[in-house]
């Protein structure tokens, strides 16, 4: 029963979603199933919060290395949760001025908004900004010309990088552009393709798109196959692979 019930729920929900896509009458059923998932996910937030508290409290009580960070995490968690749930500092909604809690928790000026704007957003931006350095180090390693394939990759990357910058336009500015010619011949069109910015577009539209589409088709078929396995109960890995 422990495995049969979830399997049935998953199968029914999955088939309802498929049917809802093809039969307009049942569209609302599909929406209902999505809402049920949202409810489940909302309940799971409590589970996640509880686990976060448990893990961090254990770290503090065991005095494990870095336990002070766990304390900071807990304090931040509690403060953020309190400000958000109790809507501290938020003004009542204009349509319901008599109700003190009718305003939104994240409206401008509230402590929750302040912490989000001035603590979380800068921290996120910092991590995201680090990506630029990681891209550089990964590119350095990937573009080492060790064999023919690596040399081709390096050359293509060089063209793309140049073509995406102003330097590319400047370097091949002397090649005539067929855009300026009223009725360009095939040869004129071919020559204008040698401009770095046009070469970049050519590489991205032809070679890159062809490779990308092959991967996308594989992914789409793989997704459909896995989905079907789940709906038919062949793949039960999401329930754990043990017996009842």
Partner 1 sequence: MHNPIRWMGRWSAASALVLLAALALGGPCQPAWSQDPEPTAEPTIQEPTAEAPTEGEQALAPDEAAAAPVEAGAEATTGATPARSESMQWIDEHIFDLDRGWLLLVVLIFCGSVVFWIAHARSGRPVKVRKIAGLEAVDEAVGRATEMGRSVLYIPGIQDINEIQTIASMTVLARVSRTAAEYDAKVEVPTARSLVMTTARETVQAAYLSAGRPDAYNQDLIYYVTDEQFGYVAYLQGLMVREKPAACFYMGAFYAESLILAETGNSIGAIQVAGTAMPAQLPFFVAACDYTLIGEEFFAASAYLSGSPEELGSLKGQDMGKMIVAGLLILGVILATLASIFPKSDVLQNIVNYLMQNVLT
151 binds partner 1 (CB under 8 A): no
**Least distance from partner 1 to the Cβ atom of residue 193, Å:** 19
Buried-exposed string 160-185: b where 16+ CB fall within 10 A, e elsewhere: bebbeeeebeeebeeeeebeeeeebe
Buried-exposed string 209-242: b where 16+ CB fall within 10 A, e elsewhere: eeeeeeeeeeeeeeeeeeeeebbeeeeeeeeeee
64 binds partner 1 (CB under 8 A): no
- Measured from the Cβ of residue 200, the count of other Cβ atoms closer than 10 Å reads 20
207 binds partner 1 (CB under 8 A): no
**Least distance from partner 1 to the Cβ atom of residue 63, Å:** 16
209 binds partner 1 (CB under 8 A): no
**Least distance from partner 1 to the Cβ atom of residue 175, Å:** 28
Q: Which of 58, 64, 96, 189 binds partner 1 (CB under 8 A)?
A: 58
181 binds partner 1 (CB under 8 A): no
**To 5 degrees, how large is the angle CA 126–CA 130–CA 135?**
155
Closer by beta carbon to partner 1, 95 or else 237: 237
CA-based nearest residue to 13, from 29, 25, 2: 29
Q: Integer distance in angstroms from the first to the last C-alpha of the chain? A: 8
81 binds partner 1 (CB under 8 A): no
Token pair of 30 as six digits: 């599909």
240 binds partner 1 (CB under 8 A): yes
User: Site for partner 1 (CB under 8 A): how many residues?
Assistant: 59
The whole-angstrom separation of Cα 66 and Cα 60 is: 9
99 binds partner 1 (CB under 8 A): no
227 binds partner 1 (CB under 8 A): yes
The whole-angstrom separation of Cα 139 and Cα 157 is: 9
Token pair of 140 as six digits: 């350095």
Q: Which of 57, 78, 206, 217 binds partner 1 (CB under 8 A)?
A: 217
23 binds partner 1 (CB under 8 A): yes
**Least distance from partner 1 to the Cβ atom of residue 169, Å:** 25
Q: Which residues here bind partner 1, judged by CB under 8 A?
A: 18, 21-25, 37, 40-41, 44-45, 47-49, 51-52, 55, 58, 65-66, 120, 123-124, 127-128, 130-131, 134-135, 137-139, 141-142, 212, 215-219, 221-230, 232, 234-235, 237-242
């Amino acid at each position: 029963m422990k495995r049969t019930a979830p399997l049935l729920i998953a199968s029914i929900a999955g088939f309802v979603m498929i049917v809802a896509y093809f039969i307009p009458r049942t569209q609302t059923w599909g929406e209902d199933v999505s809402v049920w998932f949202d409810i489940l996910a909302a309940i799971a937030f409590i589970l996640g919060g509880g686990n976060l508290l448990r893990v961090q409290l254990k770290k503090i009580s065991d005095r494990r290395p870095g336990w002070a960070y766990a304390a900071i995490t807990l304090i931040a968690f509690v403060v953020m949760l309190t400000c958000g749930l109790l809507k501290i500092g938020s003004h009542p909604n204009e349509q319901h001025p008599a109700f003190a809690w009718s305003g939104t928790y994240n409206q401008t000026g509230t402590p929750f908004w302040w912490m989000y704007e001035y603590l979380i957003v800068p921290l996120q931006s910092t991590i995201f900004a680090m990506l630029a350095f990681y891209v550089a180090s990964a590119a350095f390693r990937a573009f080492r010309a060790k064999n023919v394939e690596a040399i081709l990759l390096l050359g293509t990357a060089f063209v793309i990088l140049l073509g995406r910058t102003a330097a590319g336009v400047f370097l091949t500015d002397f090649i005539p552009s067929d855009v300026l010619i009223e009725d360009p011949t095939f040869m004129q069109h071919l020559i204008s393709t040698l401009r770095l910015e046009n070469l970049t577009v050519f590489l991205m539209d032809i070679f890159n798109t062809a490779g990308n589409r092959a991967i996308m088709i594989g992914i789409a078929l793989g997704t459909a196959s896995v989905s079907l396995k789940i709906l038919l109960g062949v793949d039960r890995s999401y329930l754990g692979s043990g017996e009842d």
